[in-house]
Amino acid sequence: MNPDLETVNSLILDLIRQALLDGAAMQKTPGADVSETMRDLNERRLTILQLIDADRAAG
């Protein structure tokens, strides 16, 4: 496995873990503002996609 793929895998796992934690926290706080959480998750998703695209271009 090349380092870029390892980085992508790590970021994906972090994204999933954070989404689960945020979802659990939101269930405990009805009416919580989810926009900041969604922005953060979307930024992480875009970072992952950029790494995948860069890896494909280099590959």
**Strand ranges (E), the chain:** none
So what's the pLDDT on residue 1? 46
Averaged pLDDT for residues 37-53: 81
**What pLDDT is attached to residue 2?**
56
**Which pTM value belongs to this model?**
0.53
Domain ranges of the chain: 3-58
Question: ∠ CA 37-48-53 to the nearest 5 degrees?
Answer: 145
The gap from C-alpha 29 to its chain's centroid, in whole angstroms, comes to 22
pLDDT given at position 3: 59
Do 52 and 8 form a contact (C-beta atoms < 8 A)?
yes
CB 47 within 8 A of CB 11: yes
8 or 2: which carries more pLDDT confidence?
8
Residue pLDDT, tens place only, 16-44 = 888 888 777 777 776 666 777 778 878 88
Distance (Å, whole) CA 40 – CA 19: 10
